[in-house]
Structure 1
Amino acid sequence: MTAAPVEGRRREVVHTVTVRHAVTRGPVPGVAVRLVPPSPWWWSVRYVAGAVVLHAQPALVAPDPDLTPVERARRRPRVRITVADPLVAATVENPTVELDVTGDHTHELTPVDQTVTVDLRTRTDTPATGRTVTLAPPGQPAIDLVAVAGTPGRYATDARRWTASETPFDLLVDGALVERHALQPFQTDTRLHAVTPA
């Protein structure tokens, strides 16, 4: 027989912190979370569908006007968010952060500088050399790629800090549209393969 829940000990969701990638605005895989001591014992935490979810007994987190600011601060939970997957962790600037949680909010993980590399072939499957290759994000300045010395047909951007407005982007060769692509957020180099339009 299952025991009935004890009144006053039921836990509810109190705070939710959405964790997302600063460029794609999507979830980040391989994230682990834990409470940081001395977080009060009545808090618990888990990571669900891209969000840090904090539970507590409602009676223990209800506002108390008699508490001093220091006492209120001591009752707040502090969480550690860690990108545990080493391959994903290598693509973000701060793979481990600690946050004092006082309400629902969004925490963005900023990526490291990334490159885009294009291996360009002709229609006869030979390296396409001497071409002008650019990336054109809609409504944003074009991003130039330069030929990589020693590898015919390969073009690459400089390592740079990408923004959400720069992906997806159109791949242009000599001003002609080839394809639309998006930055691969969990790699430090987005590798593309394309064929010249003519």
Structure 2
Amino acid sequence: MPDNRPDNHDQPARPSANSPWVLDTRELGRRPGISKHLRRSMPVTTALGVPGVITVPAEAEVDVDILLESVVEGVLASGTASVVADGQCGRCLDPLTENVRVEITELFAYPDSTTEETTDEDEVSRLVDDLLDLEPVIRDAIVLGLPQVPLCTPDCAGLCAQCGVKWAELEPGHGHETIDPRWAALVERFGQGRDSQE
């Protein structure tokens, strides 16, 4: 006879123990107060960001400095992740590199803990067979940490809207005479003759 009892949560997929992003927490022993400090570089598996604006390329190394702490409800991961992103200036379009550093604080809930049982699946990370996967947490933090409008320098003046040359390369007082399109035909027809008579 089939078991029709509702499950509170489906069992999350087991992370691959071969992934450098997956950490084994067994040595913490589910004893609150025990901690482990980790520093390592981990490769980005897929490019992050907005192509043509700013991206962290696939295989870029993310430097992770993380503290794992055993708490009553799970394992708390806190620390920083740093990576270099490539892009172009949002004002002058010059290529640039951006050092991105993000803060990480994430609770990975134990199976059958109060947090695991009372929280929606997409609202908390979970431990599966004492393994935790840092990649989704750090990937999301890096994407949110990328500048929306990257700049080569904070005071970049951008490009002249008329000729497209960088303002930094133009002479002081650079400008373009603008003619009201309603008068353009008259200026074209009579402007030169008027100038020659003066």
TM-score, normalization by structure 2: 0.28
Which protein, 1 or 2, shows the higher relative CO under an 8 Å CA cutoff with sep ≥ 6?
A: 1
Q: Of the two, which has the highest radius of gyration?
A: 2
Relative to its length, the structure with more helix (as a share) is 2
